[in-house]
Structure 1
Amino acid sequence: MQMRFDGLLGFPGGFVNSSEETLEAGLSRELLEELGVALPISVEDHVASCHAPASSPSSSSSRLITHFYVKKMEEEQIREVERAAASTAKDHGQEVLGMVRVPLYTTKGGGGLAPFLSHSFIGNARSQLVDSLLRFNLVAPEELHKALTHSLKIHTDTTEDLKASLALTEAKRKRF
């Protein structure tokens, strides 16, 4: 995954003009821009299509359709992509702040997948990630369920911490 310019986690991608290129060609172009590597993408790599979540709570619909692709890669290929992303990707440091490996483990102290899943994701990227982890049997359903349950608690704790920080700044603001 990637850390985006807005601080959210997401997958590489972008807009495709279907009158100019196929979805697969557009995704390959976006991968080159964001990762610095042109990866061949095929129709067989397609997993799902859906309407994008509405951009704001007040707008109930979206005309944007997202297409999700998953590409199996060997570890050395992943390392090549990580090196290229940091050194040759055109959008690195602007649109994309860096690659992020998804931890497929849980430590005794609770680290790993659960805290990762508690981060903020763009659109439906968290659901796409969970679906892919299950689809490719990368994490057992029971382990993923435990990680998501723990992630929900982390998210609740983070919300409470943010509320406390907000109250602190409110108090400081009123004094000035």
Structure 2
Amino acid sequence: MSEGNWGHLASDEKYGRLVDQVDDFKLITYDEAASESHAAHKHASHTMILARDLRVLWDLYPARAAILMQMRFDGVIGFPGGLVDPGEDPVVAANREMVEEIGLDLQKHSITKENHIVSYFNAKKNLVLHFFGLEVTLEEFCAIEQRNLKAPDYGVETLGILRPPLYTMGDNYRGLPAFLSNTFVGNARDELLLGLQHFKTHSAEEIQAALTAQEKHAAEHQGCQGKS
């Protein structure tokens, strides 16, 4: 198969290309996203599922919360979700995608417009992103994790779920800063950090400290590579 052979994926593959910069995503309101000016653009919906976790791990690090993210088919990390079908509402799409990708039982949990956290417009891709947040109990969260293995898209579009560590360990890198060094689809990394503030598990100062630690480690690692 040649490098450019996308088959039936060709029409949509551009939306997942890993070339985005932070400033490619402009914050817009949900109403703006639903307006006529964005009607011709492609839309996508993704959801953060969160459960508060009051444990202190190893008597050192507050767990704070469990958050569900996933390894995607393209080898990068993101939230459950995907492209909105033509004529489909973003909320309906968010629920449909979570059924397909993680096997969510909509009789127990479902997204409404009130779960909306933020929307973005990426002009380079003509893409509107809708990000939702759903809080559940830790017991419910564990049950959702277990259902993932039976989801219709498991092993195809999703290759496993994971929980981001929300603490920073004693070396000021392992934990959340190290997790932020991974490759994320689109602006999923920024959505994660915004979600942490939305649910008040972290302050803006704590988020910035984790980003600073991650950037410092990346710069030091790059410096070491340059000297080798």
Aligned residues: 156
> Percent identity between the aligned chains?
38
Query: RMSD over aligned Cα, in angstroms?
Result: 2.1
What is the TM-score of this pair, normalised by structure 2? 0.62
Match of 1:101 in 2: 163
Structure 1 residue 62, shift from structure 2 partner: 1.9
1:7 has 2:75 as partner: yes
Match of 1:75 in 2: 138
As a proportion of its length, which structure holds more helix? Answer: 1
1:1-176 alignment, distance < 5 Å: 1-19=69-87, 21-38=88-105, 39-52=109-122, 61-85=124-148, 87-110=149-172, 111-157=174-220, 159=222
Does the 8 Å contact 1:118/1:154 carry over to 2?
A: no
Asked if structure 1 preserves the Cα contact closer than 8 Å seen for 2:117 and 2:198, the reply is no
Q: 1:135 to 1:151 in 2, by over 3 A?
A: same
Give the superposition deviation at 1:51. Answer: 1.5
* Offset, 1:156: 3.2
- How far residue 140 of structure 1 moved from its aligned partner, in angstroms, is 2.5
Moved over 4 A (4+): 157-164
Separation in structure 2 between the aligned mates of residue 66 and residue 7 of structure 1, nearest angstrom = 20
Aligned partners of 1:11 and 1:125 also within 8 Å: yes
Distance 2:156 2:222 in 1: 28
Output the CA distance in 2 between the equivalents of 1:160 and 1:35.
40
Unaligned runs of 5+ residues in structure 1 are 55-60, 168-176
Quick check: 63-72 or 153-162, which moved more?
153-162
CA distance in 1, matches of 2:223, 2:81: 33
Q: Output the amino acid matched with 1:9.
A: I
1:170 aligns to what? Answer: none
Amino acid in structure 1 at the alignment position of 2:205 = E
For structure 2, list consecutive stretches of 5 or more residues without a partner in the other structure. Answer: 1-68
Matched AA of 1:13: G
> Does structure 2 conserve the Cα–Cα contact (< 8 Å) formed by 1:35 and 1:84?
yes
Question: What residue identity is the alignment partner of 2:82?
Answer: G
